[in-house]
Structure 1
């Protein structure tokens, strides 16, 4: 069982919140939480926008601060017999109810925010945080005036209901999400990609399905053939993106999707089936398509902040958006400053979700449960996950992994983490940083959590691209190649808890990392303009000599090392063919061909795609590259089991002084494959970080064995056969054979 029902710290049972049909669809139950509201009314609509409510009902509050009402379907207005759209209006201490209040008036108003942080405003129709689908975004091509949702003296009396999105009540459906893969995370190869961008520019997909869940489902076979075992989608929960295509402009566009409007609803924009319930059914069908190809579906979730944003004007505490959580119970759902007048902000995009409040945590838990058990998702990547480790609600921020009551530990305690060797469970991956305070926590998460290893990314980038500017020792490289024991071993975690990556959606592509000296985000549409973006990228265009070839070689080096490293590798969509965004490293707002994948490749891209596919297959074929625990080696007294041994180029065993001298840039290691129950006796990997050729003396390949070359990433070895298929490897020789490895190249040999 993946989910255990939870009664929160405050004794509140939030299971069953939302709106649902009961009694064979004879009754609709509405339940919503608010501790601080003094009155909540339910408004029912026959259409999503542009019309008055059909009915309104007063909810009653119980001792757990849950407001509810049950309505007989038979007694509803006949105009509500098909789809029922709904929303809420709430009153509280800063705006108490008065009988003569009418929509669009200020009757009862005291303040936009009071000393306790309440921001109730009955003129704003509020979306149910537990709604399973949303009718539309807050801003649409038909309505682009966001002022209707704001508080403050200019906007507080505007009735938002004609324009606001409504919740949609879904009936149960029989759509299957297939059989979930049980593969261990250590055996996964993750492909991070934007759902719309995966197929929006793919001419092999029928036009009406491009950029949709159904279109993505049609790419399952391609990804399985590539060698991918887990697809990680950028956020697919509802976000503000309906207006992205109005004009060829980036003004206000939200392509990546990190401004969540609802934690349950699959984004309607990504559905080819726009009927009510269509996005949910189509999402589940997509999950099944991936499951049928043995591919896990992971989704990027954003529980650290919401799409309601922050203050409209700096220093002004009155003007904020009231979409959902803020208008229902601001101090419950958001971390506030000590005076409760503003949001506390560790995210840089409007304010922290109150992850330490038990009821706000319940929403996270209930949302995860829904995506796992109802929609079939296999795992999650948590955006700015340090905020989930916060242990202070208002006036401060403090990450503490030891606090059993924080959201990080609740998630691990209440769900089943996938077992080390595979089986039923869920994969939990953190982006282990936020902004400010003690939020940078790479290696600092509690047991049960895997992490995006930012240290892996930075160490490898610096070594490849900034020799002479950054001092990277071979010891640092050895650490990241073998699972980053320095970060994870002391917590009882394993190499596979390190999600290794060189590039992600946030930053340069693999091609641009090795082709751009600096970001170029100010260019014209469709490749910009995009504001922000990291300025210190550890990137390099590889110099002037034979530049294009050198850039491809550098990309082969980086990708090969990623796939040869212990840990869980993650690549980014399009890196399999060297996708470029022309040096834009923050294309969050580009819903354009710049961000959409392109499957029409030139010969160099096709060759790199072959290299990627065979490199993925090599990793899969060799369990020694996917250890469940950290590699063992013989200690200084000759005790223990040797699974891995490090060598200097001259063939001698590398010692501490060699590892720690930052003037050394060539290292090799031999993995004893026989320790991992595979037929290959040994794997030998050499990395030459120098610009000139280095001669490596090969070690013992095993009794009766010789070394055979799988790949040498040197520039002389370009083309479709840069990496050999199994059984086609090149004979090299036995022990003491000298191999001249060109500058900035990786060599992979197997013993057979």
Structure 2
């Protein structure tokens, strides 16, 4: 007998060895969907532990009681279902949008015929020995709902205590105020033609969907801060040279109550890393917030980017959810119950060994149970929905080490070799894009979490790219920590050439390294070179916010503004010249600053939105960024498939990159390993890449004073031409020379002085 995907998953446990459960995407068709005749809606939801589930139907999102209450039927594999016809909806008085939610009973709160909304009939405990947290007074959202009606708390309902369990709140009914699922009829709206470009050829631009345009006067006022507005910036990003836009979380999260009128609440959630639903596009970023509007508008935005040849990547959070953890330390009773916790808490969340509390490897309340096959199904099914229906091209996974967990209940262990972990499930069911390009998705990990063996830079399995935190640290320390932190030229060389020590040992390639100097989580590019430390406790709109790393490897360059800009040019240039995939953060091309706040997660404010009114210095920097991106894109030698080596027809290894000391001598192990050396140069043979120039030469001087570099051989009949020098003397709109306008420098053995903390780029012609 062939088992359904959920039935098969139900047979597996965390101790089962062998292949992971795989099958068709959402084989049990969980969620709410119309049938082929469009005359019936099928409702299906998973719970292996519930003893009774009822579907509640509503004619409006909030403020009214249900119009129908339907007992569902439990089937195989823990799937509960019912079908509601269009005629039945009419008889209930539902003639427009169908809003729905669920109430569930289980071992800790069995069904009692005396139960009414807001009563304690049948109650035994808030949590039982198995970790169940059923509470029929809490209307539950469908984990597979395609849109949600509103956030749990919002301007018209600010009391979040109603969603809690525990002795003070368990009998508070949430039916009239809780978010409802919205039944969508489906559409055939185009998402355009997906780019098939190899990931190695991408330049990633990480940005907040709202912050991108909220302060942009070139966007119509009604479109600012929306998916529609973001789509209207596609042409700008294409002109900058960006090939992939990576949005901070756009799945539904609690942000309806964010302050946007000049005052700050430290409880605001601007970034969006507390997901309420993994399928629904966040309504707050839609100009059209009517049912179905966010989905349509998101798809239209995706098409706008695809029409410009730009991939759309989204930041996803499958390590924890917006239900959070315990309200109070040592209180096992009081937890939020929005959806998954009230449906099947031990399936969807990792618990402590006694099943009484959340197990926390994220620092934000508790882990999603990523090693449970059913919980994995939800991850894979939602990723497939965003890929296939909403048109996205790839994902950045927040705290992705949690997806490599190999055990449940009171433990954490990352093991990339476990075929049943979520990381390998994702690769198996959502194939990554091939090295040469084609169909597939980008899978990008933030390769760390909190505690245990969760720091895994370079430790992810095949198929995964990673944010290279060691690249960030090396560049920052070499620029900002001279005399304080030892960074050898060997370490620099390894990072600039694609980090083979991290990605070459398991068959991965340079492009599996996503190189970045800054990300949303921390200082902006300007601030990392303008701030000696964080300043998070400042007045709105730049603060206050809590948290933030105390070790930023930042420095204000002695307070000299010109040197701050030079340092930012170096950081950006080195990314564009390194093997791997460069990622910049939205606004870095215009020297965006948040006044030294390095954790502005809660600042939905003008201080945190991108500013599109630039000074001359900002315009010059934007021209520099645009020029360096164009240079990278014009030279395939900067985008290697392998670690700068190839094999000829005779089996000989051909080195495509050579390292030099400033003297012109080839850098050897003694030079690389000496912590007193701070300048390194390299020459890339472009001929083997079909490059337009025979060679590229880069000299990086991390010393505080100038260093003379003796130039190597440029090739027979060639001389060196300057593309850019990041030093202050060259600052201006044309600091990166356009092709054909490069400056003549000279041939082999020419000496060139590079300023302190400067970078030189030459090509041979």
Common topology (TM > 0.5): yes
2:519 corresponds to which of 504, 524, 537: 504
Alignment of 1:176 with 2:193, yes or no, is no
1:626-666 CA-partner distances (Å, limit 9, x unpaired): 0000012899xx96313111111111111100000010011
Q: How does 1:323-722 map to 2 (within 5 A)?
A: 323-544=338-559, 547-632=560-645, 640-722=653-735
Aligned equivalents of 2:595 and 2:154: distance in 1? Answer: 30
Aligned equivalents of 2:276 and 2:208: distance in 1? Answer: 18
Match of 2:42 in 1: 29
Aligned equivalents of 1:348 and 1:321: distance in 2? Answer: 17
Cα contact 1:237–1:264 (8 A) shared by 2: yes
Match of 1:308 in 2: 323
Match of 1:95 in 2: 109
Task: Indicate the SS of the match to 1:685.
Answer: strand
1:532-571 CA-partner distances (Å, limit 9, x unpaired): 0000000000014xx0001000001111001000000000
CA-CA distance at 1:693 after TM superposition: 1.2
Aligned equivalents of 2:52 and 2:9: distance in 1? Answer: 24
Aligned equivalents of 1:710 and 1:8: distance in 2? Answer: 59
Aligned equivalents of 2:32 and 2:172: distance in 1? Answer: 26
CA-CA distance at 1:78 after TM superposition: 5.0
Aligned equivalents of 2:85 and 2:174: distance in 1? Answer: 27
Cα contact 1:463–1:472 (8 A) shared by 2: yes
Match of 1:740 in 2: 753
Aligned equivalents of 2:475 and 2:702: distance in 1? Answer: 11
1:78-128 CA-partner distances (Å, limit 9, x unpaired): 521210100000000000001010000000000000000000000000000
Match of 2:277 in 1: 262
CA-CA distance at 1:245 after TM superposition: 2.5
Cα contact 2:192–2:302 (8 A) shared by 1: yes
1:137-194 CA-partner distances (Å, limit 9, x unpaired): 0010010100000000000000011110000000011211010000000000000000
Choose 688-697 or 32-41, whichever is displaced more.
688-697
1:664-723 CA-partner distances (Å, limit 9, x unpaired): 011111000001011201000001111111111111100110000000111111111211
Alignment of 1:81 with 2:101, yes or no, is no
Alignment of 1:52 with 2:70, yes or no, is no
Aligned equivalents of 2:671 and 2:325: distance in 1? Answer: 52
Aligned equivalents of 2:549 and 2:594: distance in 1? Answer: 15
How many residues are paired up? 745
Deviating 4+ runs (over 4 angstroms): 4-8, 11-14
Aligned equivalents of 2:423 and 2:432: distance in 1? Answer: 13
**Structure 1 unaligned spans of 5+:** none
Aligned equivalents of 2:8 and 2:74: distance in 1? Answer: 18
Alignment of 1:9 with 2:9, yes or no, is yes
1:263-322 CA-partner distances (Å, limit 9, x unpaired): 000000000011110000000000000000000000000000000011011100000000
Task: Indicate the SS of the match to 2:653.
Answer: coil
Q: How does 1:213-228 map to 2 (within 5 A)?
A: 213-228=227-242
Distance 1:257 1:363, change over 3 A: same
1:212 corresponds to which of 223, 226, 236: 226
Aligned equivalents of 2:377 and 2:147: distance in 1? Answer: 19
Cα contact 1:614–1:725 (8 A) shared by 2: yes
CA-CA distance at 1:416 after TM superposition: 1.7
Choose 241-250 or 260-269, whichever is displaced more.
241-250
Aligned equivalents of 1:158 and 1:703: distance in 2? Answer: 82
RMSD over aligned Cα atoms: 1.4
Cα contact 2:269–2:601 (8 A) shared by 1: yes
2:180 corresponds to which of 145, 163, 166: 166
Task: Indicate the SS of the match to 2:387.
Answer: helix
Aligned equivalents of 1:632 and 1:652: distance in 2? Answer: 21
Aligned equivalents of 1:543 and 1:619: distance in 2? Answer: 31
2:334 corresponds to which of 304, 319, 322: 319
Match of 2:211 in 1: 197
Distance 1:246 1:417, change over 3 A: closer
Cα contact 1:34–1:67 (8 A) shared by 2: yes
Alignment of 1:730 with 2:734, yes or no, is no
CA-CA distance at 1:71 after TM superposition: 1.2
CA-CA distance at 1:249 after TM superposition: 1.1
Task: Indicate the SS of the match to 2:511.
Answer: helix
Match of 1:108 in 2: 122
Cα contact 1:250–1:528 (8 A) shared by 2: no
Distance 1:68 1:78, change over 3 A: closer
Task: Indicate the SS of the match to 1:279.
Answer: helix
Task: Indicate the SS of the match to 2:269.
Answer: coil
CA-CA distance at 1:72 after TM superposition: 1.2
Aligned equivalents of 1:9 and 1:117: distance in 2? Answer: 20
Aligned equivalents of 1:7 and 1:627: distance in 2? Answer: 45
Cα contact 1:581–1:594 (8 A) shared by 2: yes
Aligned equivalents of 1:473 and 1:673: distance in 2? Answer: 26
**Structure 2 unaligned spans of 5+:** 12-20
Match of 2:17 in 1: none
Aligned equivalents of 1:7 and 1:701: distance in 2? Answer: 65
> What TM-score results when the alignment is normalised by the length of structure 2?
0.96
Cα contact 1:244–1:255 (8 A) shared by 2: yes
Match of 2:14 in 1: none
Q: How does 1:114-193 map to 2 (within 5 A)?
A: 114-193=128-207
Task: Indicate the SS of the match to 1:222.
Answer: helix
Aligned equivalents of 1:175 and 1:702: distance in 2? Answer: 53
Distance 1:333 1:191, change over 3 A: same
Distance 1:36 1:214, change over 3 A: same
Match of 1:279 in 2: 294
Alignment of 1:295 with 2:314, yes or no, is no
Aligned equivalents of 1:108 and 1:298: distance in 2? Answer: 47
Task: Indicate the SS of the match to 1:543.
Answer: helix
Cα contact 1:684–1:748 (8 A) shared by 2: yes
Task: Indicate the SS of the match to 1:196.
Answer: coil
Aligned equivalents of 2:360 and 2:308: distance in 1? Answer: 41
